[in-house]
Amino acid sequence: MRKISLIILAYCVTGFISCKNSTTYNSEETSSAFLTSVLDIDQKVATLLKQMTLEEKIGQMNQYNGFWDITGPAPSSGDAAKKYEHLRKGYVGSMLNVRGVENVRKVQQIAVEETRLGIPLIIGFDVIHGYETISPIPLAESASWDLEAIKKSAQVAAEEAAAAGINWTFAPMVDISRDARWGRVMEGAGEDPYLGSKIAFARVQGFQGSDLSQHTTIAACAKHFAGYGFAESGREYNTVDVGTSTLNNIIFPPFQATIDAGVRTFMNSFNELNGIPVTGNKYLQRDILKGQWEFDGFVVSDWGSIEEMVFHGHAKDGKHAAEIAANAGSDMDMESYLYVTELANLVREGSVKEAYIDDAARRILRVKFELGLFEDPYKYCDRQREKEVIGQQAFHDAALDMAKKSIVLLKNDNQLLPLKKQGQKIALIGALASDKTSPLGNWRIAAKDNTAVSVLEGMQAYKDNQLTYAKGADLSLGKTKFTAELNINTTDRSEFPQAIALAKTADVVVMVLGEVGYQSGEARSRTTLGLPGVQQELLEAVFKVNKNIVLVLNNGRPLVLNWHQEHLPAIVEAWQLGTQSGNAIAQVLYGDYNPSGKLPMSFPRAVGQVPIYYNYKNTGRPSIPASNTVFWSHFQDVENTPLYPFGYGLSYTTFEYSALKAKVVSNKKVEVSVMLTNSGKLTGKEVVQLYIRDHFASVTRPVRELKGFELVRLEPNQSQRIVFTLTEKELGFYDNQGNFIVEPGDYSIFIGGDSNANLHTKITLK
Ligand code: BGC
């Protein structure tokens, strides 16, 4: 391998001096004035671009998955050999799923030392909720409504991933979803565009920090643009058809928030939107994202989504797909191999403008410069740092903190919780209670199996109780990523008797039930939302002998919990909480942490209600007419409301709201305040939520829309006045022409601890 000193290399790639094999630069570019000038990134990119052949520019637009055991020999035949050859020619701009300093260094070395221009690779990876130290799944983190904690969690993930050679994460996923059948709800922030936007902003800030060139920060990627969360019937990759108003007011806002936060990349997605696959959607990518929103980063396709346009029935073949995608503004091809094989010919034939290629390459190079990869392509490849940073205690502390904040207390009759710390006989039941992999959830590729603290381990730390444990039913099937998890544990009841025997003699039974980690996530759609397998049977069998049950749920999506709400005294929504899961759950169960999480998605009463969301439209027939006919918008068999509404969650203390006031300062400014009192006996936190309703508008508005929230910590008997200012941004909406408007008229303002808040007042905008 050719060795070049890093300094020479940095100059070489920025075009300051000529290097071996490179073309000769013109005198202006190599003049000493040019050499010493403090060029901004755009100038450096322009200089570099001028030296690149068409194939090299297209190479920047080509992303390959890790293609051989990088620590082993390079492949001599097949697909991998082709990729290797492309890498050496400078026809690869990025790789994904190459991780670990040694591996990243190897591929980077080829790009930097063996290609003509030595342009470094950008290395992407799905750092979704942690790298090796895993924090709660994003849906769970969102239940904290704690933006600082969420930002911190992304910061930690970035730092750990960066230490392993990664400089670009495919996160945050900011797809709004109202459909719990869709497995990827675990990866987003839930159903609400306002909360989703705040969280999207915090996550981007966390990953990218204030300076992308630091070795602790990585580029973020807002995905999947757009509409992926609205797959029909929640079936993965399914068709999406949504109207203008939903697109503008529900789907777009979190993406816009990531732009406000300075996100450097976007990912498009697998779905079609209103008949056009989004990967080939010019309106979304060129007109909205790069046009109206002035996004100057780059757009990567989703895995193979360029080629999938053929299956969608939008492109006639791969070449046509490449043409459509490039013209529509997809800058980088993830694993379709079509840009690298087809684009140059398409340009020569005049089907794709070279200006589009230049624009895409420019965007990609710009991000590489911002990351500091040209100054030091190996800045993420420090072995010592990798050893010291990954898995450090501070990351575990942050994961534990985030996990506790993510837990939602759904029910707690007669203060069954917190558990007493002494003298209680506790039977812990459920295979998930001792599982050390499932709590890691989905999207935890770099985490090792069996590394999460289990609930059993967490509870064992409280030594003064008598704790016994039985699985009751095994979950051992379906733990691996690519098997069909829906078949888990459907038949084997052989361990029921042991669990029932323990429950009979216990004071309290803690049952940990739910979904295994890989039961939600990509390609994990479900048509039922109950406890999978024999778990419900087990629960009811235990309930027959002991009604004092605390149900601890581990799951990646809202479930249907009617029986549970009706029969069980206590229910804790503990999602999949990551590496520190068991410690977090134990601390909540024993009252060392007072839960304050609030649901980021509505929990339905029946699958038939789905999609269900709090910010629905009123319809023309919203309630039972006076004559008591059936002709109003409802189901015959289940009421319209969810079992647990958006924003809902209890605490071990209680809160009271009073003295709601609203003052219209102008049409663009409304001041609202409310008094919050901790009326219980423990210190606790409450998420104060403000909703508005615009009663009549040129485009109908939802019955409620979240427009403000604040996380407040109060001692018992302490009161605090919470003040919100609503501006144009909160009071307005997008009309169907895409204009943002605030309309005069009557608005209701509701404040409380969930989306059913009934304390309200009215204002009128003139
Ligand atoms: C997912 C993306 C992910 C990509 C790379 C795709 O299957 O939809 O969200 O970033 O794979 O792993």
Same domain, 417 and 491: yes
Atom of ligand 1 nearest to the CA of 269: 8
User: Is residue 647 one of the residues assigned to a domain?
Assistant: no
Ligand 1 pocket test target in 125, 223, 270, 302 with most atoms within 8 Å of CB:
302
Give the CATH number for residue 503.
3.40.50.1700
Rounded distance between C-alpha atoms, residue 49 and residue 42, angstroms: 10
User: Is residue 549 one of the residues assigned to a domain?
Assistant: yes
Same domain, 455 and 575: yes
Which has the minimum average pLDDT: 114-118, 154-158, 272-276, 517-521? Answer: 517-521
Give the CATH number for residue 687.
2.60.40.10
Report whether pLDDT(225) > 50. Answer: yes
User: Is residue 87 one of the residues assigned to a domain?
Assistant: no
Instruction: Say yes or no: CB of residue 228 within 6 Å of ligand 1.
Output: no
Overall pTM > 0.75: yes
| Final residue of a structural domain among 567, 590, 613 | 590
366 alpha carbon – ligand 1 mean position (Å): 23
Average pLDDT over residues 157-177: 98
Assign residue 35 a region (left: φ > 0; alpha: ψ between -120 and 50; beta: otherwise): alpha
User: Is residue 426 one of the residues assigned to a domain?
Assistant: yes
Report whether pLDDT(666) > 80. Answer: yes
SS3 content of the chain, % helix, strand, coil (to 5): 35, 20, 45
Q: Strands across the sheet with 719-727, in order?
A: 655-666, 669-678, 719-727
522 alpha carbon – ligand 1 mean position (Å): 8
User: Is residue 671 one of the residues assigned to a domain?
Assistant: yes
Tokens 């339905």 correspond to 604
User: Is residue 526 one of the residues assigned to a domain?
Assistant: yes
Q: How confident is the model at residue 14 (pLDDT cuts 50, 70, 90)?
A: very low
Query: Whose C-alpha lies nearest to ligand 1, atom 7?
Result: 303
Query: Whose C-alpha lies nearest to ligand 1, atom 6?
Result: 303
Average pLDDT, the chain: 93
272 alpha carbon – ligand 1 mean position (Å): 16
Average pLDDT over residues 338-353: 98
pLDDT of residue 134: 98
User: Is residue 525 one of the residues assigned to a domain?
Assistant: yes
User: Is residue 272 one of the residues assigned to a domain?
Assistant: no
Same domain, 548 and 660: no
pLDDT in tens, 702-716: 999 999 999 999 999
Ligand 1 pocket test target in 166, 170, 268 with most atoms within 8 Å of CB:
170
Same domain, 419 and 545: yes
Same domain, 433 and 535: yes
pLDDT in tens, 438-481: 999 999 999 999 999 999 999 999 999 999 999 998 875 544 44
Same domain, 421 and 517: yes
Report whether pLDDT(213) > 80. Answer: yes
Report whether pLDDT(636) > 90. Answer: yes
Report whether pLDDT(4) > 90. Answer: no
Same domain, 583 and 670: no
pLDDT of residue 36: 41
pLDDT of residue 533: 87
Instruction: Say yes or no: CB of residue 657 within 6 Å of ligand 1.
Output: no
Same domain, 685 and 541: no
The total number of structural domains that make up the chain: 3
Atom of ligand 1 nearest to the CA of 270: 8
Instruction: Say yes or no: CB of residue 303 within 6 Å of ligand 1.
Output: yes
Q: How confident is the model at residue 490 (pLDDT cuts 50, 70, 90)?
A: low
Q: How confident is the model at residue 69 (pLDDT cuts 50, 70, 90)?
A: confident
Instruction: Say yes or no: CB of residue 469 within 6 Å of ligand 1.
Output: no
Average pLDDT over residues 303-319: 98
pLDDT of residue 7: 34
302 alpha carbon – ligand 1 mean position (Å): 6
Quick one: three-class SS letters along 530-582? CCCCCHHHHHHHHHHHCCCEEEEEECCCCCCCHHHHHHCCEEEECCCCCCCHH
Catalytic residues: 302
Kindly give, in sequence order, each residue whose CB lies less than 8 Å from that of residue 591, ignoring residues fewer than 6 positions away.
Answer: 417, 418, 419, 421, 652, 682
Rounded distance between C-alpha atoms, residue 88 and residue 118, angstroms: 10
Rounded distance between C-alpha atoms, residue 61 and residue 94, angstroms: 8
Instruction: Say yes or no: CB of residue 308 within 6 Å of ligand 1.
Output: no
Same domain, 532 and 666: no
Same domain, 412 and 509: yes
303 alpha carbon – ligand 1 mean position (Å): 6
Instruction: Say yes or no: CB of residue 126 within 6 Å of ligand 1.
Output: yes
Average pLDDT over residues 336-350: 97
Same domain, 564 and 665: no
Instruction: Say yes or no: CB of residue 370 within 6 Å of ligand 1.
Output: no
262 alpha carbon – ligand 1 mean position (Å): 21
3-state DSSP call for residue 475?
coil
| Final residue of a structural domain among 556, 590, 624 | 590
Domain carrying residue 467? 405-590
Tokens 């398409």 correspond to 346
The DSSP bridge pattern shows strands 705-714 and 719-727 to be unpaired
